[in-house]
Structure 1
Amino acid sequence: MKNSILFLAFLLLSSVGLSAQKEYKATHEGWLVNIDDAYALSKKTGKPILANFTGSDWCGWCKRLSAAVFNKPDFKSWAEDNVVLLELDFPRRKQIPDEIRQQNQSLQRAFQVRGYPTVWVFNLDKDESKGGFVIEALGKTGYTATLEEFTSGVDQMISRGGKGK
């Protein structure tokens, strides 16, 4: 089921500087860390965004999900064809730029994420009149033990909601 969420606090997201973006990289290769970059790529490709809310350096289930799904070559191939990858990390030991931390916290509140890992799949549109984004949530998942279970679940979310706009 599609849910639409108007999220106006995204104004702060446009303040994420290029220097912070260049210095800070996602834990996994091929993942973006900036919602503006994910939005631009989603619009260009017509693919929804797959956002992984994670505690990469402390969350045991997040590490298991990475090993079981995200680190697999077949996942990388599937993702390239189906989604735009966005990592929203909440580390305890690793430092992240304040702008990225604020962005991640804003998205955590918007999606009401209370535990890790949580993976949301969504389409994103700009609402120029209100200066924010409109999020069309396609679905969410958490830890899954296998790549097949994960990609099958996300494929179902995408097919129910349409592939981007």
Structure 2
Amino acid sequence: MKTILSAILMVVFSFGFHAQNRLENAKKTAAENKELILLNFSGSDWCIPCIKLHKNIIETEDFKKLESDGVLVYINADFPRNKKNQLSADLKKENASLADQYNPKGIFPYTILMNADGKILKSWEGLPSENALAFTEEIKEIRENQKP
């Protein structure tokens, strides 16, 4: 009986330790690869500016190239309202924690560019006025101006 209980506890605790959140993973990756982190708070199924941001910037080739070229790590903290779009309990909890730390006013969309240490370099409240190319060029310029 003790063996079974010990095994169950080991499994439970291994999930707890393994479930490192996306921001911590992003910080580690960004530090290793000298990348920036872009954290976006969105309401993917109810916030019209959020939907436009994703369609006109995040889903474009210009933006995707930032990820593939090792310029940034992208995290989307989504807060959908429709039942069919609900996230897992763990992801909801993690997104709420990110919001508590970085978006306490509950602004949507809200986008933060930070370095690997979590220092905020720039933030955008609402839909950025730039198009995808200008948005990505600004991120590249901020990265180039970072100390090595």
Q: Determine if the TM-score, normalized by the shorter chain, exceeds 0.5.
A: yes
Is this contact kept in 1: 2:28–2:116, CA < 8 A? no
Bigger helix fraction = 2
- CA-CA distance at 1:159 after TM superposition: 4.2
Please, what is the CA RMSD of the aligned residues? 2.6
Unaligned runs of 5+ in 2: 1-14
Larger Rg: 2
Deviates more, 1:93-102 or 1:60-69: 93-102
Unaligned segments of structure 1, at least 5 residues: 1-13, 22-32, 126-134
Task: Answer whether contact 2:34 2:116 (CA < 8 A) is retained.
Answer: no
Q: 2:133 aligns with which of 130, 148, 151?
A: 148
Distance in 1 separating the partners of 2:17 and 2:55? 30
AA at the equivalent of 1:150: F
Of 147-156 and 63-72, the range deviating more from structure 2: 147-156
Percent identity reads 27
Q: CA-to-partner distance for each residue in 1:26-76, whole Å, 9 max, x for gaps?
A: xxxxxxx82233223212211011111111111111111111111111221
Task: Name the count of aligned residue pairs.
Answer: 128
Q: Which secondary structure state, in structure 2, belongs to the residue aligned with residue 144 of structure 1?
A: coil
Query: How far off its partner does 1:17 sit?
Result: 5.8
- The alignment partner of 1:102 has SS state of helix
Query: What are the residue-to-residue correspondences of 1:80-91 with 2, within 5 Å?
Result: 80-81=68-69, 82-91=71-80
TM-score calculated relative to the size of structure 2: 0.72
